[in-house]
Chains A and B, each alone.
Chain A
Amino acid sequence: MDDVLKTAKRCRHYAMCKIDFLGSGLCRSGAERHYVSFYPQGRMDLYAALAENRIPVTEKCVEIAESCDLCGRCEFQCYFVTEMKPSIVMKALKKHVELHLKNGGQVLTAERDSILDELREVVGEYWATNDRAVALTYSSDPCPIAAPHMPAYVVMPHSTAEISAVIKLLNHYKIPYAVRGNGSSVMGFVMSEGAVIDLGRMKTIDFDEKNWLVRVGPGVAAFDLQKAAVQRGYRVNVAEPSALVCANIMCSGIFSLFSASYGTAADNYTDAEFVGRSGEVFRLNEKSAPNLFAFRREDSAVPGICSSASVRLHPVTSDEGAAFVPFEALEPALDFARECAMRRIGLGIGVLGGEYISVFLSPTKKLADEVKDTIKDKLKIEYLVLVIGDKYALRSIKEMGYNYFDNRLIRTLILGLPSLTSAKWFDLMNELADDEPFSYLGLRRFPDFAEAALAPSPAKLVRSVDAELRPFFEKLYARPEMTDPVWLNMFRIVSSRMGREKHVVAMIIYLPIDNKLITDINSEFKRIADSHGLKNDYGFITPLDQGKRCVFEYDYYLDHNNPDERMKMQQAMMDAGMMIEKYYAETGTVTWIRHVFCQGFSRKESFLYSGTVTDKCQG
């Protein structure tokens, strides 16, 4: 397999090329034509299919190839996340099609189809298609348990009325359908042999500041919503930047580090509009609406299509900052996180693995690998509790006796990462800090010293970046927000780097912050993945509901193009599922996110505390 095809097939479908998260601009053709096929992600799939002779050259295929102006924006975006350089694929696609046309190759015209005609009557000629080139880009994702399905139709409605009409039409012809946001869940939910309804055109964002709300269309991505909210001085609780907000609420409910104070699931919205399965439109706040606040512990079907949601806005103060409190073990980190949650200290709280610094903050895998051991062996950081809060919260952490990396130190650390491995002074820090690990963080002038020692600079940070892209990344890292831990955690643009090496499958559960239970389950997740030979790592834990519960993510990794790893992952997921069920049976307090899927609009209390009640009051 040549490098171009390899690159094309490595696309993780994280949809990061569909948002302008670097401020470098969006792919023009994608922004105009909306189908994923016209974004770099779609072109990667299309090129791979053409190169492997899985589809013919079609009319849309020609349009997709020709509409790429080789601007190179996708290069910056994709490199930032996965270190891939997709422009070789974009060029190869154009070349493939040009050559095909030059050689007088046939261009397949999509067959006329009466159902398609009817769909086009609803959404407009351009926004429904049965072209194979477009359909292909909606046919698969890297999920190891989902088989590809080539949809017969791809439809892009633009309003609630259009969604309703499309649903009625599809129901009439008994055509199954899947609803798609950005498809970034990569859990195989967005494929169908019937129709795929892509909501990417419905990007309305209407602020209702009097009520601290913003009404969001189903095509709005988390990054874009957060950006709009921040411009007005607010914050929203959103998940991965490319995830569409409505789809995300629908799927699992939104959780982030900010869920420690903003909550999750039904806490995030006040109302939502739906198109039901029969095409009827209802709002959640209507008395007659289906009760989506309830939760049933079982695999559920989608109750309808969320066509808008009124999302809560949160205030932001000018004194917010971050505290990264380092720990040598998980248990004390959990104790601290729980205490912060119980005492309502901080807005966002997350127990992160020590690799957060190396994997998330390093611009390249090479640098991440270099600093990984330094962080564990020299800095002795196994876990970090990240607390985002105002100056009073940060002061409280100091008063609790914890030293931490603050905004300034994190900026120094990020921009000085390349100096970390050769920093001999860290050896000494640990040899001498035997009694009080991390006590150096409490020194008043340590930030000055760290700046002298690490000599942080954007130029230094990007030394390991591909030479062609270095000037862009040097400018990028000179922007204050790129080293601002509050901004980075609000917009979450670095978390997708966890999939830089391999595709990630997140195992997510809700459970009490019970140290033994968590460490046991953590060990079990690891044991299962190890037994199948899969790369795996602790993800994060965020306290919920004042620390009474938490959300825990453990990550398994696979090469999604490797059939052997796909099979191993399927087995590992099955084993992990059985393990979670076993803990549920034993404790009644462990909830697998699988059971929350399609019930993300429910009240968090209904799934956090849904276990069988065994302790009854004695009367």
Chain B
Amino acid sequence: MPGIIMENHKKYFLTGATGFLGSHIMAGLLLTGKGVVIAGRPSGGESLRERIRRLLKWFGIIRLEPLLEYYETDFFKSRLGLSEDEYRNLCNWGFSIIHCASDTSFAEKNRARVIRSNVESLTEILNFAHESRTHCFHFISTAYAVGADRIECPEAQINTARFTNVYEESKARAESIVSGRCGEVEIPYTIIRPSIVYGNSVTGRSLKFNALYYPIRSLQIIRDIYLEDIRNNNGIKSAECGVYINNQGALHLPIKIFIPNEGRINLIPVDYFTDTIISIIDKPVSGTIYHVTSINPESISRLVSYTERFLNITGIDVVIGTSSADELRNPPEELFDHFIKIYRPYLSDTRIFKRENTDMTTGGVLPPGLDYQIFQKCMAFANSVDWGKTLFR
């Protein structure tokens, strides 16, 4: 099976369609006229269909709903929690499966939940892949499943012991299970590894506001607190930590961001992610791993300059090294540091993700660089939906 180019199939079985990446894959498939079977769960009192319809409206493609079918599933139950008839019926359709459902928590305290969602749930979905004789099983992983041990990261499975967090670890374990089981029962498969995905580079729209967005959101909130203090509470607390409004009307926030080395952050916009996925699943090469990543990761200094400009602040200083444990940092600095703690490993990443397989499939189309216009559009959109709170209002 490895190396054989599969045929294009017109119907897809998609998990994780209510998530950020999954929903964009769904929209991408629908816009290219593909039929999609959505497998997922109701949540928060909403049925799966209601959740998806909400997303279709957000994408402005509710008209394409007839191309969708819905199955409320449970990946921890045999036959995906479906009735015998439903399951058999699905097995006879013979579509490609895109497994995008994932728990994206980085938190160690959620280890059991993350492992269960990302690793243990694979058993039933792979049984289904086998029993439905799927044309291809596409597993959406992460570029960071390569682990933290090496600089050059090939589009291949790597035995790694060191991960930044449980999410990365779970994805690495899942990749191993997918390739092992698919190889064993001869299921064609691909593994797709995106890096950090942000909003649409053309419209700025996004459904999720973590990763790239968190540090900017944190700084915006800190900025607003000190502006309020200066404007309405005599600025006493601001003065205590060297915060002031400068002659140009910008807020000076003396915050040092310590990063261990001059690494970069690997970002791709979601529109590039979607186009690339569509290309891959259109002509998949079984047994192949694809890195959907940037070849020009962004430097933190550049992101800081974008952020200062966007938020009308000054004083953010990127420092290579670590702060002394005894150093008494100012309150906004300490808080910001706390806010970005979980993302710190990604801010100074030295890994280089090879992407020959992806380039071969996409004809070498690369993601656009994150310039200020794109950054501004994305952050303005984030603000317009209050960082996701009013996304569907």
Contacts and interface: CB of A to CB of B under 8 A. Distances in A.
Contacts of A436: 109
Nearest to B237: A452
Contacts, number: 71
A301 to B, nearest CB: 54
B328 to A, nearest CB: 7
Interface string B106-142: 1111100000000000000000000000000000000
Interface residues of B, number: 34
Interface in A428-456: 428, 431-432, 434-436, 439-440, 443-446, 448-449, 451-453, 455
A445 B329 contact: yes
Contacts of A435: 106-110, 342
A443 B110 contact: no
B342 A446 contact: no
Residue from A451, A453, A455 having most chain B Cβ neighbours under 10 A: A453
Judged by DSSP, the binding face of B is helix
A100 interface: no
B334 A446 contact: yes
A95 interface: no
B108 A444 contact: no
Contact of B107 (A434, A445, A455): A434
Interface string A399-438: 0000000000000000000000000110010011011100
B171 to A, nearest CB: 18
Interface string A368-402: 00000000000000000000000000000000000
A432 B341 contact: yes
Contacts of B224: 424
Interface in B370-392: none
B157 interface: no
Nearest to B165: A435
Contacts of B6: none
Interface stretch (B228-236, B283-291, B305-313): B228-236
Contacts of A424: 221, 224
A425 B229 contact: no
Given A448-B237, A449-B332, A434 B225 contact: no
A428 B225 CA distance: 13
Interface in B193-216: 210, 214
A155 to B, nearest CB: 58
B245 interface: no
B328 A444 contact: yes
B218 interface: yes
Nearest to B333: A445
B226 interface: yes
Contacts of B108: 435
Contacts of B162: none
Residue from B106, B229, B339 having most chain A Cβ neighbours under 10 A: B339
A567 B238 CA distance: 57
B57 interface: no
B335 A446 contact: yes
Given A428-B339, A432-B339, A453-B225, A448 B214 contact: no
A416 to B, nearest CB: 11
Contact of A440 (B105, B106, B238, B338): B338
A442 to B, nearest CB: 9
A360 B182 CA distance: 60
A448 B331 contact: yes
Interface string B233-263: 1000110110000000000000000000000
Interface in B156-196: none
Nearest to B241: A448
Given A424-B221, A444-B328, A455-B233, A434 B110 contact: yes
Interface string B277-314: 00000000000000000000000000000000000000
A434 B109 contact: yes
A425 B233 contact: no
Interface in A266-324: none
Residue from B226, B241, B331, B342 having most chain A Cβ neighbours under 10 A: B331
A425 B222 contact: yes
Contacts of B334: 443-446, 449
A453 to B, nearest CB: 5
Nearest to A451: B237
25 contacts: A425-B222, A425-B335, A428-B214, A428-B217, A428-B221, A432-B218, A432-B338, A432-B339, A434-B105, A434-B109, A435-B110, A439-B338, A444-B328, A444-B329, A445-B334, A446-B335, A448-B237, A449-B332, A449-B334, A449-B335, A451-B237, A452-B225, A452-B226, A452-B237, A455-B229
Interface of B: 105-110, 210, 214, 217-218, 221-222, 224-226, 228-229, 232-233, 237-238, 240-241, 328-332, 334-335, 338-339, 341-342
Closest 3 CB pairs of A and B: A452-B237, A449-B331, A445-B331
